[in-house]
Chain A
Amino acid sequence: MDDVAPLPDVEIGEIIGMLEYLKEEGGRTDIYEIADDENLEIDDLVPIIKVASLLGFVRVENGDLILTDLGKELIEGDENKRKLIFKEALKKLPAFKKVIGLLLSNPNHTIDKSDLLNLLMQEMPKDEALDTLKSLINLGRYAELIGYNPEDKEIYLDQLNQDSEEEEIK
């Protein structure tokens, strides 16, 4: 599990809310102003910006936060369009590619939550691994790429994705 950078655990709503705010500000604003305007600590804002930027919805330039064309498309779309954009963006993340690869190679296309955590802990400290795991499950569920069964504590590939993922790997 190399090349997997820690992924902060942020709410989907926080990402979308921030993009909506950016759009209202004309697509570009000073990061410090966001913190001020929305009464947020910079420490709370940074993880949201990080995830949004990893997914390609924003970019940071000279202390400014800028809404990308993809981010604009996301905000202007309906719920179905948003999920589709999220899904495609998520599939490009190295962490997700690894998880999908693991799921495809495992029998039943599942992996135990604790097994995935152990793999992540080989790349990063436990705290970051826990956050990354939570984030992967949260974002993956929203994008309907993966599911998580809390009874069995198993992560699984969303049924609809199994065939398309197998095609892509080929």
Chain B
Amino acid sequence: MELLKLKGIKQLFPLKHKDVVVLDDINISVEEGEFVALVGPSGCGKSTLLRIIAGLVKPSAGEVIFKGKKITGINQDVSIVFQTFGLLPWLDVTENITLGLEARGMSLKERLRKAFKYIDLVGLEGFEEAYPRELSGGMKQRVGIARALVMEPELLLMDEPFSALDAFTAQNLREEILRLWGSGNLSLKSIIMVTHNIEEAIYLADRVVVLSTHPGKVIGDIRIDMKRPRDKDSVEFTKLYDKIYSMVVTAKL
């Protein structure tokens, strides 16, 4: 079943004498159960596209259709995980996670119950009262993930979620995401992840959508049919890597 449909999405960025076309005629559908990676050179509007999907940015043209309905304004069934975590420094881990629930008018008891459930799920037990300044990058991103999941979204958007982390921590969190995705005990139906890391995209996603730059257009949509966990050294993985890498390089030229 189709969860999300982007129809003719166009995004202009106004300059003094002309408009820069950041995104041009983007048409993408995402089915329930799909983990989609969006890759492309920097500056191709991937992050803007994510914000359009969330309803944070209104596109210059085109429509975002979610579960068959056109989205105007913020989509309540969508959560985002950010590259630089975005935690509020004056709130501790539990408070950062429950902020969105508070905005929904949930009782304290219920908020804490949900928070502890997701704190447990992402491996943050023991850090409930810690402040962001006490946390390493990986721990901060676990808070970001818990905060997104506690809202029980149907669609999870991730904007370069592991790019600000060291190699080992990033790999550890990728495995965590796969574990959560494969657990089947989340309300989550689909994930869209923006990344510039092609290896990461192939490792995690069911589908890799490649965008060009200036303007951002869809130039490739590749299914990844490999069983997880995927072997980065396998022939199949390497072939996919080469294919996508060439597309991205061509897009840059």
Contact = CB atoms under 8 A, between A and B. Distances in A.
B251 to A, nearest CB: 24
Interface stretch (B70-78, B131-139, B207-215): B131-139
A168 to B, nearest CB: 20
Interface string A1-45: 000000000011111111011000000000000000011100010
Interface stretch (A65-73, A124-132, A147-155): A147-155
Given A20-B168, A158-B126, 10 more contacts: A11-B136, A11-B169, A13-B139, A16-B168, A16-B172, A21-B171, A44-B166, A138-B136, A141-B126, A148-B130
Interface residues of A, number: 30
A163 interface: no
B241 interface: no
Interface in A125-146: 137-138, 140-144
Given A20-B175, A138-B136, A13 B168 contact: yes
A91 interface: no
A19 B92 CA distance: 29
Interface in B107-160: 123, 125-127, 129-131, 134, 136-139
Contacts of B137: 11
B170 interface: yes
Interface of A: 11-18, 20-21, 38-40, 44, 48, 79, 83, 137-138, 140-144, 147-151, 158
21 contacts: A11-B137, A11-B166, A12-B138, A13-B139, A14-B138, A16-B172, A17-B171, A20-B168, A20-B171, A21-B171, A40-B166, A40-B167, A44-B166, A48-B168, A79-B123, A137-B134, A138-B136, A147-B129, A149-B129, A150-B130, A151-B129
A148 B133 CA distance: 13
A158 B131 CA distance: 18
B173 interface: yes
Interface in B151-202: 165-173, 175
